[in-house]
Amino acid sequence: MLSILSAAPLLAPALATIQDEAHWPRWRGPNATGAVEADPPVKWTTEENVAWKVALPGHGKSTPIVWGDRLFVLAAVPTEEGTAEELAARKVHEELRTETPTTKYAFLAMAFDRTTGEALWESLLTEQLPVAGNHSTTGYASYSPVADADGLYVSLGSYGVYGVDQGTGDVLWEFDLGPQITRRGWGEGGSPAVHGDTLLVVADQEVGSYIVALDKTTGEERWRRERPEVSTWTTPLVVEAAGKTQAIVNGTTAARSYDLETGEVLWSCDGQTTNASPAPVSDGERVLITSGYRGSLAVVLPLDGKGDLRKTEGGILWSRTNGTPYVPSPVLVDGRVYMFSKNSGMLSCLDLATGEVLLDRERLDLGNVYASPLAAGGRLYVADRDGVVLVLEHDDGLNVIARNDMGEAIDAAPVAIGGALYLRTDTTLYAIGKP
């Protein structure tokens, strides 16, 4: 197994001094919208305008997470063949469409100095034999971690949930979710959410789906609620609204809002498509739910709703049945929502409050898109699975101001802090920006 601690960054001049509040603590950024106040570069190559880059071990699709001067990523590295006893003991789902590996994987959390790229620590969270295969476009470390001032929190689905010390990488606690059997053995994804002293993990699978709330300090279970769901790959959104702290979770059978304190379902809205994956996005008054596999739906709901919103007057503010995303989540900036159609390079823009269509499935020069867009510096940053990152002006048109080719697939969402842009390709972590 390759250790990051044995290798220096490929380039190592430092980025500008960080701010005290320089955080990208969760997959969709500080406000869970994909938008941030930052001014990252517009043009670069794999060598030019690069402050540093680091080759990553193994395989992972998770977005980099930043807390202050530390940047965290996850990876899964194949190690050794499982023993005959281990293989015989493993229960394999009968309806898997993917090949279940016989090789064990080491699941790693890694920390870097975000201004220099120096490797700070590498933590082996667990080494296990996978319970199933996965889709050809993903891996065994697709979840993004989350961070706050107290720690780093990692969900690996079937392979455990972990509380990790940010400074040392020491595992402080672990929680066993049990083996997760996803549709067709396509693998696991989505990310946890942390709010206050509570960590939320969604375990949607083919049988026995649930959401669980853990004490973020100890890993002890606080509450668990069964979910009448099949496999999804989504992330909870936590908002303060209508006198409650709500955890809003997308789903194939329904989107639901849970009381973070008790787990009570506050409201729900059905009509999503199969394989609901995009994360909800909110402006504090309303929330957008999207899905786009074998169908299409975008629905905007009031945060003060109660019960079944489809049966409630005013429960649905507006909806749309085309141009919605399958894998990439929308980005919300200045009251506008940008979203891809399915996994294509066709981009739409809508007014979140009214549903007015400002752009309708305008085609960009992109291949398949899995990475969720970033809004920063009055610009949109969109990446495809060929490694192309387009930079667009954030306005009523699609004015492409730069095309940057990284040479290999990008599935992790771009991250921006200050004047830096962080990109994770299949094999490399880049800090884009002038030293």
222-232 tens-digit pLDDT: 999 999 999 99
pLDDT value at residue 98:
77
Average pLDDT over residues 146-170: 97
Contact predicate 284/241, CB 8 Å: yes
Q: Which residue is associated with the tokens 């979710």? A: 177
Whether residue 209 has pLDDT greater than 80: yes
Tokens of 381: 């940053």
By residue range, what is the domain housing residue 253? 4-432
pLDDT value at residue 435:
55
Per residue in 1-35, pLDDT (tens digit) is 445 444 445 544 344 333 445 899 999 999 999 99
DSSP 369-432: --SPPEEETTEEEEE-TTSEEEEEESSSS--EEEEEE-SS---SPPEEETTEEEEE-SSEEEEE
∠ CA 292-295-297, rounded to 5°: 60
The set of residues, in sequence order, having a beta carbon less than 8 Å from that of 88 and lying 6+ positions away, is none
Contact predicate 332/295, CB 8 Å: no
Tell me the percentage of the chain whose pLDDT exceeds 70: 93
pLDDT value at residue 171:
98
Whether residue 136 has pLDDT greater than 90: no
Indicate the number of domains in the chain.
Answer: 1
CA atoms within 13 A on the CB side of 103: 10
Contact predicate 102/87, CB 8 Å: yes
pLDDT value at residue 99:
81
Per residue in 76-119, pLDDT (tens digit) is 999 999 888 888 887 666 566 778 889 999 999 999 999 999 99
∠ CA 157-159-163, rounded to 5°: 80
CATH number for the domain including 100?
2.130.10.10
| Residue 398 banded pLDDT, cuts 50, 70, 90 | confident
Segment holding 79, helix H or strand E: strand 70-81
